Structure 1
Amino acid sequence: MPAGGKLTVETLNTYVADDYAADHAFAAGQYVMIAVTDSGTGMSAEVIAKAFDPFFTTKPVGKGSGLGLSQVFGFVRQSRGHVKIYSEPGHGTTVKIYLPRHYGEMETEDQGRGPGQPDRGDHSETVLVVEDDERVRSFSTEALRDLGYTVLGAASGAAALALIEAGARPTLLFTDVVMPGMSGRELADLVVKRLPEVKVLYTTGYTRNAIVHNGVLDPGTHLLQKPFSVDQLAAKVRSVLDV
């Protein structure tokens, strides 16, 4: 953060589902998640792809060794965990570390189990999914269709508004927070102005505290953090629609 800013550290007990774990080559189950978020300059997709490479750095010569994140990656993998970077240029960075959770003497039979059957929807309920990451958008739209909802997908805020102008009337707007061009917050404000009855659920790889502290979203806003499983998506969508 060249000009200073905020650094947020958070911890959370979380469950990693089979689908996300399989895509990222680690075991599903219970983990302790440690998230470190800054409000700095952010990273491009090209920089993120190289961020864990030894000796890779964007800093001037003599200002950094390029070993910090590669050492984090090595430690996490040796611990049978997972590390993920979420970042957009100009919007800061969140690094999430997942370490296997140990229960010790307090373990019970129910601990370590995944969620049960997902909450289902109805074809009369339409979810508009707005996500610039094609992989996440495809996962979300397919999962919601399988859960029984009518689903529309858009890769940007402008594309989502075009669908509404064409007559789409979503019951729920499910949008990423940080996107190129129009942000999820800006999109939601415009959609709610046109369709006051629509409900809004945000998603992001950044932590709730980070985006609230930085003024991106208001406290109490409905938010589903990435990565999420089908069960987590189903439960959150159902809870927002049933409010």
Structure 2
Amino acid sequence: MSQTTQNGAISAPKKELLRGTAIAAIVAGVILAIAVLPAEYGIDPTGIGKKLGLTAMHNAAAATLPEAAPASVSATSATVAKPTAANPSAPARKPSTVAAPGEERAITIASAETAPYRVDTMEIILAPGKGLEVKTSLAKGATLIYSWKTTGGEVLNHDFHGEPLNAKHDEFESFILEDNVSESRGSLIAPFTGVHGWYWKNKNKTPVTVVLNASGFYTDIVRK
């Protein structure tokens, strides 16, 4: 039963206070085990949290959280670097979003080259009604730049294309196809290791001379 103090306040006996505290602690522990741990931390010691769907709430919340960036990545990084054969330990960095005003950013492809840089000029004579190819050997990711023109302004059909190493029959990719042109220029970052180059078809009734200027990181250049 309760007791009255000198100032008129009513106080409970110590046994009742202790019992009330113990009951409150037990109730809090039950709530912690059944509701708080499954919902907040995914810990379900009793299994009741799973039945009540509380652990599912935790899993759904965890799935929507963004992954933390690696400590070595700067939040303001504006460059992309990937490990290469020459530097396999190069750290990956956050993709760049830099773009010129009014432009949509293109995909950046950059790589260190192992083949020496070279420059070649070649004069090719195409017989009437005949075709001819000139090919370079490029490793995947290597760059080739070119320009060509006919000496007399004659027009040709042109196919700038590539074939992967050990290509099967008719396994090739055309990069630039042009009909009735007297000159062309372009560049390529090789999408695969193989031979890449030009095919011209002379539909004229007289021979046509083509002057080809090529440069880049190819290992050879041959006419076929």
TM-score interval for Structure 1 and Structure 2 normalised by the shorter chain: under 0.3
Tell me the TM-score normalized by structure 2.
0.22
Question: Radius of gyration: which is bigger?
Answer: 2
Tell me the TM-score normalized by structure 1.
0.21
- Pick the structure with more helix per residue: 1
Structure number with greater CO (CA < 8 Å, separation at least 6) is: 2
- Pick the structure with more strand per residue: 2
